[in-house]
């Protein structure tokens, strides 16, 4: 076994039952609890804690002060059938919390990566598939699962048992209701719910908590009205928004709608869908998702 730097070794707390490859790079104050496994190409930043029974392998880097709970697996090979053992990565920022049984796969494709930002909270049984990009301050509740190539932007919240189709984009500060099947893109600042999901209004509480200015909120509301309550096509509405968007949030929404989408943008629920939801109590959203 290769000798570690004595200063770094002194600042580590590695349980005797943990297996840490001598090639792994561990920062100051790193804690590796009982029965953890850390692979050869892993880098772990200062103050990060692997509590117990954690596996970190592949070419994975974790930043500072992350907290990883038991039975989490980070950096496992992609489950994509196209994966052929090529070199790919998982890159994780700082101060994230990974609760029990979270799984995060590395990318499919040479030099590809799965990326998670900072200050994100992934609850028990969350799955992040290959080539996903998760922003900062994201919350994914228990059993929410995202397929490959999904983008989840800063401050988004996914309720429990949400399933997200591959290549879907989730905009900043979007809110996804529990048990939802997200098969198309959810624009920033909007709420979505249902199976299949549809847009249900603005994330007013999220806008308030993030201190979004009233001028921006009004502009987002008007864009929402134009998108979902006018007779114009989406392309015509986007053209109109180009001349009407002035606030940073309004421009962000316009950019999201204008950029290429592999899956398309979620619509509002049809009358038929609303009637079905009334007959199925598990899809009711009373008091949770309200139209604006």
How far apart CA 151 and CA 46 sit, in angstroms, is: 27
In a domain, 245, yes or no: no
In a domain, 261, yes or no: no
Q: What is the pLDDT averaged over residues 124-132?
A: 98
CATH number for the domain that contains residue 104 = 2.160.10.10
Q: What percent of the chain has pLDDT over 70?
A: 89
Long-range interactions of 201-208: CB distance < 8 A, separation 24+: 201/289, 201/290, 201/291, 201/292, 202/292, 203/173, 203/174, 203/175, 204/292, 205/175, 206/155, 206/157, 206/173, 206/175, 207/173
Number of structural domains (the chain) is 1
Res. 178 pLDDT band, cuts 50 70 90: very high
Has residue 12 got a pLDDT over 90? Answer: no
Host domain of residue 177 = 6-201
In a domain, 142, yes or no: yes
In a domain, 42, yes or no: yes
In a domain, 60, yes or no: yes
Cis geometry, peptide bond prior to residue 196 (ω within 30 degrees of 0): yes
In a domain, 274, yes or no: no
Over the chain, what is the mean pLDDT? 91
In a domain, 104, yes or no: yes
Q: What is the pLDDT of residues 194-251, one digit of tens each?
A: 999 999 999 999 999 999 999 999 999 999 999 999 888 888 999 999 988 999 999 9
Q: Which of 4-8, 153-157, 176-180, 234-238 has the lowest mean pLDDT?
A: 4-8
b/e code 218-254 from CB counts within 10 Å (16+ = b): ebbbebbebbbeeeeeeeebbeebeeebebebbebbb
In a domain, 41, yes or no: yes
Q: 3-state DSSP call for residue 127? A: strand
């Amino acid at each position: 076994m290769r000798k570690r730097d004595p200063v770094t070794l002194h600042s580590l707390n590695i349980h005797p039952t943990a297996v840490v490859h001598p090639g792994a790079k561990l920062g100051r104050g790193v804690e590796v609890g009982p029965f953890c496994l850390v692979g050869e190409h892993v880098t772990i930043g200062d103050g990060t804690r692997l509590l117990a029974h954690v596996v970190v392998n592949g070419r994975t880097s974790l930043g500072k002060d992350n907290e990883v709970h038991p039975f989490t697996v980070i950096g496992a090979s992609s489950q994509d059938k196209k994966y052929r053992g090529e070199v790919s990565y998982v890159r994780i920022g700082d101060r994230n919390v990974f609760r029990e049984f979270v799984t995060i796969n590395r990318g499919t494709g040479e030099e590809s990566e799965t990326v998670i930002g900072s200050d994100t909270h992934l609850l028990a049984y969350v799955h992040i598939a290959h080539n996903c990009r998760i922003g900062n301050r994201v919350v994914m509740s228990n059993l929410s699962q995202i397929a490959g190539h999904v983008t989840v932007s800063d401050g988004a919240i996914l309720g429990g048992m949400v399933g997200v189709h591959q290549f879907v984009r989730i905009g900043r500060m979007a809110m996804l209701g529990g048990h939802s099947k997200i098969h198309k893109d959810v624009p920033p600042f909007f709420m979505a719910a249902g199976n299949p999901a549809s847009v249900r209004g603005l994330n007013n509480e999220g806008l308030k908590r993030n201190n979004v200015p009233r001028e921006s909120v009004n502009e987002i509301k008007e864009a929402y009205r134009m998108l979902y309550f006018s007779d114009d096509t989406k392309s015509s509405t986007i053209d109109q928004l180009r001349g009407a968007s002035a606030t940073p949030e309004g421009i962000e929404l316009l950019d999201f709608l204008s950029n290429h989408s592999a899956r398309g943008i979620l619509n509002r629920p049809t009358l038929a869908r609303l009637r079905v939801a009334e007959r199925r109590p598990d899809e009711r959203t009373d008091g949770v998702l309200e139209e604006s």
